[in-house]
Structure 1
């Protein structure tokens, strides 16, 4: 009987790991499609991608538009404006279930919402303002959000 229980537990674990693997694959595929779509939409160059990868705020319009498109895809920007709830949803997995960090993330969202004033900015500046706010204020809430300003 004990051996049978062990078999069921193993089957459960294998099925769940397959589901997780499928979810991760779908997420990677979705991200790849989003990156491709945003690259085409923004006209971003390889250098623009490298700036984002090295946590620098892009200095070119195409780089800023790439970042803004990615934020739109993550629902951090909605209708051209900062979406606090979308930011919280997008960054929640990075908090790894830590209730204290989740509370601080919510406070950070409120701070950025206040600083950005729910304005729709031109020339792909909304994404830049969001990243600057997160980087500037993240440490105040015990959240390390790194970036390098050019």
Structure 2
């Protein structure tokens, strides 16, 4: 729980400096820090981490498992189940300066909520790409 509070505070601070500097780099640093435990537990490489935190489609099993672990760390995934509220909270932090786009987050959450897969790594990869592509189709880059 403390980690979630810390991450939330870091995200809020990152969002607050959005108009003052390189927001994307700050967001990537937050993502990088969040998946450090995942990287170590999975034996992922720095290249695997960079691939996932830059919202690229996972290319191998380790990257798919890293996507699952990262989504779990961000509160977007609970086991095999997509957490619509967790996704909406994280995504809306990223786009808070553009209230018009916040409705798109709910649309994407509804689309991704339908995904189900017994394999945790596969469901992580599928949900990650559903969210990324759904937001991109609506003009939102992560």
CA distance in 1 between partners of 2:56 and 2:76 (Å): 18
Match of 2:139 in 1: 143
TM-score, with normalisation over the residues of structure 2?
0.68
Structure 2 residue 118 is the aligned partner of structure 1 residue 124: no
Trace 1:2-41 onto structure 2 (pairs within 5 A).
Answer: 23-24=9-10, 34-41=34-41
For the structure 1 residues 108 and 31, does the alpha-carbon distance in structure 2 shift closer, same or farther, using more than 3 Å as the test? closer
For the structure 1 residues 139 and 33, does the alpha-carbon distance in structure 2 shift closer, same or farther, using more than 3 Å as the test? closer
TM-score, with normalisation over the residues of structure 1?
0.64
Whether the 8 Å CA contact 2:68–2:120 is kept in 1: the answer is no
Trace 1:1-150 onto structure 2 (pairs within 5 A).
Answer: 23-24=9-10, 34-114=34-114, 116=115, 119-140=116-137, 142-145=138-141
- Name stretches of at least 5 consecutive residues in structure 1 with no aligned partner: 1-22
Deviations 1:27-50 (A, max 9, x none): 889866532211112211122123
- Name stretches of at least 5 consecutive residues in structure 2 with no aligned partner: 1-8, 15-25
CA distance in 1 between partners of 2:103 and 2:82 (Å): 19
Matched residues, number: 120
Deviations 1:25-76 (A, max 9, x none): 9988986653221111221112212322554222221111112111001111
For the structure 1 residues 93 and 123, does the alpha-carbon distance in structure 2 shift closer, same or farther, using more than 3 Å as the test? closer
CA RMSD of aligned residues (A): 2.9
CA distance in 1 between partners of 2:41 and 2:109 (Å): 27
For the structure 1 residues 139 and 52, does the alpha-carbon distance in structure 2 shift closer, same or farther, using more than 3 Å as the test? closer
CA distance in 2 between partners of 1:31 and 1:134 (Å): 16
